[in-house]
Amino acid sequence: MSTQIREIDNYFSVKVELLPLGVAIPCDVFIQEEGEIKTILKKGEHFSLDIKNTLKDKKIEMVHVNQGDKKIFQNFIFEFKPKEYFNNILDRYTINNEFYYKIEKECLNPEIPINFSLYVHDGSNFQLLLEASEENPKNISQGQLIEGDILISKRDLNLYKDYLQKLIKENKTEPKILKETTKLLLREIYSEPTNRKNLLILGDKIEEIINYGTLESKMIENLLIMKKLDNYNYVHSLNVMALSLSLGLKIKLEKEELRLLGLASALHDIGKTRISPLILSKLGKLSEKEFQIYKTHVIESVKIAKELGLSDKVIDGIAHHHEKLNGTGYPFRLKGEQISFFGKIIAIADAYEMLTTPKAMKYALTPYNALMILVQDKGCYDKSLLQTFIKMLGRII
pLDDT mean values, one per 10 residues, the chain (397 residues)? 44 83 89 86 91 91 86 77 56 57 87 92 78 93 82 91 89 78 93 92 93 77 66 85 95 96 97 87 82 96 96 98 97 97 98 84 81 92 96 79
Partnered with residue 127 across adjacent β-strands are 120
The pLDDT of residue 325 is 97
Contacts of 372 (CB under 8 A, 6+ apart): none
Residue count of the chain: 397
The pLDDT of residue 93 is 44
Distance CA 262, CA 244 (A): 7
Best CATH choice for the domain 173-396 from the list 1.10.3210.10, 3.40.50.10440, 3.40.640.10, 3.30.70.260: 1.10.3210.10
The pLDDT of residue 100 is 82
Q: How far is CA 243 from CA 1, 236, 361, in A?
A: 31, 11, 25
Residues 231, 93 contacting (CB under 8 angstroms) = yes
Distance CA 47, CA 29 (A): 10
The pLDDT of residue 3 is 32
Which H or E run contains 6? strand 5-8
The pLDDT of residue 8 is 52
The pLDDT of residue 1 is 31
Phi, psi for 38 (deg, rounded to 5): -125, 145
What's the whole-model pTM score? 0.76
Q: Where in the chain is the domain with CATH 1.10.3210.10?
A: 173-396
The pLDDT of residue 9 is 59
Distance CA 253, CA 214 (A): 11
Distance CA 241, CA 223 (A): 10
Residues 235, 227 contacting (CB under 8 angstroms) = yes
Closest CA to 225 of 188, 191, 175: 175
